[in-house]
Structure 1
Amino acid sequence: MQDAAYLQLQPYLASDAIVDWQEGDIPVCPIPVFTKGMQANSYFFGHPKWGKEYFESSHRSEPFKQRWQAAMGSWDDKIVVDIGCGPGNVYATLGGSPKLLIGVDISLNALKMAREVGYTPILTDAHHLPFVDGFADIVVANATVHHCDDMGRILQEAARLVRPGGLLFTDQDPQLTAWNLKGAGLFVRDIRYPVYRLLRSKHYIPYEERSARWKTEVQNQRPGDGITSDMYYKALEPLGFDVKLYPHSHDLGTEVLEGKNGRNSWRLRLSQRLSGINPDTPEAAQSIMCIARRTN
């Protein structure tokens, strides 16, 4: 079977990769252990209603676009791998003309949406990617690492694909020190949705959707969850990467590259203060953006 996906992906697949090629459909790699977190992510981001809403509303802002383009430059004529691409938000926001844009995810329905945006999709486990080493100009993982069971392994697998001189870029993963809420601060966070419902706030999310989304947040469910600067350095520096990290709140654009952290919502700032966290420090910024360039 020689359809377009086969012809595009085949040169970059490892010799021992097992891929089920279904004509006219999305190539699928076997996943021996489909964990609860994987099941949750597959269900939520492939949901016909929630997946579409996520595509239309998440990571689609102008500051997000400006931040990413300033950090990476153009994707034109490059081989790009988007790990955890979901329904295709990132490329739909950034645009451009990549030489090849591979979308990796474990949700078949999300990959079908991503294909419509312009991705060459493949269903596979990000902990065990079926690709050869060092072929991609840019590998991105947006709001992906914390959805996985082993964050360090995900970073190392993503790094393995980057060519010498190429770029590994991650963003929108919750910083542990910002979300390590305790006591009254944790209580304030936990009661927010009943309050939103009472006030008929736009921030209210119905329980079924909220529960399904929460289950996808494998590394962002309890105090002490989240990613740290040390995790990036330990995973990537031994592999020959120059690692630069930028903690930031979610609404910042190019200011992130100037070392600005931004200002969290008043709701998070209140929870942080009640937890003994200074909300005006880099450690209190919601996410860490990682720009890692392979030097050898």
Structure 2
Amino acid sequence: MSGVWDVAGGPSARRRFASLARSVRLFRGFLVEQTDPDHFYGLLADDSVRQVGGYSALAGRTVLDVGGGPGYFASAFRAAGARYVGLDPDVGDFSAAGESVAGMVRGSGTALPVQSAVVDVAFSSNVLEHVSEPNRMLDEMVRVTRPGGVLFVSFTPWLSPWGGHETAPWHYLGGDRARRRYQRKMGRSPKNRYRETLFPLSISDVLRWARGNGDVEVLEALPRYHPWWGRWVIRVPGVREIAAWNFLLVLRRVGDEPGGAARKTELTGGRVAM
């Protein structure tokens, strides 16, 4: 795997990466997330590392994965030459992907046990909607990222077709109702429990936080799994909450930018309606 996706190649290189074929592969993988998580998350990890590599070199850089969970991203980042550190409240979950706990830190995303300005890439995949104080977690990710470093954060908006996770699509009728329906049907409580381990987070909420934080610059705001020509949905309030499916925000920590740090792209031009 290449450590850096060639952003300098211009729009044609970006379009080749965000292709329809890629989107189809990811959505097909998503269909077996519950039954074959190794396949889906392995696919997503490889794809994510390529995407992150479009904004920062990875070889020799420190990547902090906030909410690393079972560690599916560890091998992918390490294969790209990164110094990977995963953080999760329960390090025991890391073994689910067959990884050891080496390089794994136990801690909370809203109070990172990491010094300020020491991380080159702060990464978090599908964690933010499971945090009761998402802005606090985002603030912590900014704090630990060095000037010129990159923050790569994705999550599933509440109004996405998968917003209720295993209780979807019944979450459209209310999170509590969807949870009760799941319990009646399955005979057990869902893993992602409304307002306990799953919270109704919106894209607009996160964009509003980004706009109000003077320590970061928005490099990209886009639907994570869509082909390049579908990225317009993020510019339309309301529509994006449903059509984006999964939202990706790429930020740069402002300050003096050392060589090899993030480069702003032209996909959104930094202009996204809040």
TM-score interval, normalised by the smaller of the two chains: 0.5 to 0.7
Tell me, yes or no, if the aligned pair for 2:91 and 2:101 is still in contact at 8 Å: no
Residue 60 of structure 1 aligns to a residue whose secondary structure is helix
Matched, 1:122 2:105: yes
Q: CA RMSD in A?
A: 4.1
**What is the SS of the residue equivalent to 1:289?**
strand
CA distance in 2, matches of 1:93, 1:161: 22
Taking the aligned partners of 2:216 and 2:39, their CA distance within structure 1 comes to: 33
**What is the CA distance between 1:102 and its match in structure 2?**
1.1
Return the alpha-carbon distance in structure 1 between the equivalents of residues 65 and 229 of structure 2.
22
Report matched runs for 1:244-259 at 5 Å: 244-248=219-223, 251-252=225-226, 255-256=227-228, 259=231
Q: Equivalent residue of 1:213, what SS? A: coil
Contact map agreement 2:63 2:121 (CA 8 A) in 1: yes
Is 1:295–2:270 an aligned residue pair? Answer: no
Q: Is the 8 A contact 1:127 1:154 kept in 2?
A: yes
Q: TM-score, normalised to structure 2's length?
A: 0.60
The one-letter amino acid of 1:240's match is D
Matched, 1:215 2:207: no
Report the counterpart of residue 29 of structure 1 in structure 2.
Answer: none
Q: Which amino acid aligns with 1:159?
A: V
Percent sequence identity over aligned pairs = 17
Q: What is residue 152 of structure 1 aligned with on the other side?
A: 135
* Match of residue 73, structure 2, among 90, 93, 98: 90
Aligned match of 1:16: none
Q: Work out whether residues 71 and 97 of structure 2, in 8 Å CA contact, stay in contact via their aligned partners in 1.
A: yes
Gaps of 5+ in 2: 1-33, 256-274
Structure 1 residue ranges without an equivalent (≥5): 1-51, 198-205, 263-277
SS in 2 for 1:167: strand
CA contact (8 A) 2:156 2:245 kept: yes
Shift in Å, 1:72: 3.2
8 Å Cα contact 1:80-1:102 kept in structure 2: yes
Question: Cα gap change, 1:190/1:132 in structure 2, threshold over 3 Å: closer, same or farther?
Answer: closer
Between the aligned partners of 1:157 and 1:236, the Cα distance in structure 2 is 16
Deviations for 1:68-91, whole angstroms, at most 9, x for unmatched residues?
513434522110100000011223
Partner of 1:186: 173
Question: 1:56 corresponds to which residue?
Answer: 38
CA contact 1:85–1:103 (8 Å) conserved in 2: yes
> What TM-score, normalized to structure 1?
0.56
CA distance in 2 between counterparts of 1:216 and 1:185 reads 12
- Once residues 36 and 69 of structure 2 are traced to their aligned partners in structure 1, the CA distance between those partners, rounded to angstroms, is 9
Q: Check whether the contact 2:94–2:100 (CA below 8 A) recurs between aligned residues.
A: no
- Equivalenced residue count is 208
Contact preservation (8 Å) 2:157, 2:246? yes
Q: CA deviation at 1:114?
A: 6.4
Structure 1 residue 93, shift from structure 2 partner? 4.6
| Deviation of the 1:243 alpha carbon | 1.6
Name the counterpart of 1:231.
206
**d(CA) in 1 for partners of 2:211 and 2:149?**
13
**Cα distance change on mapping 1:107 and 1:53 into 2, 3 Å:** farther
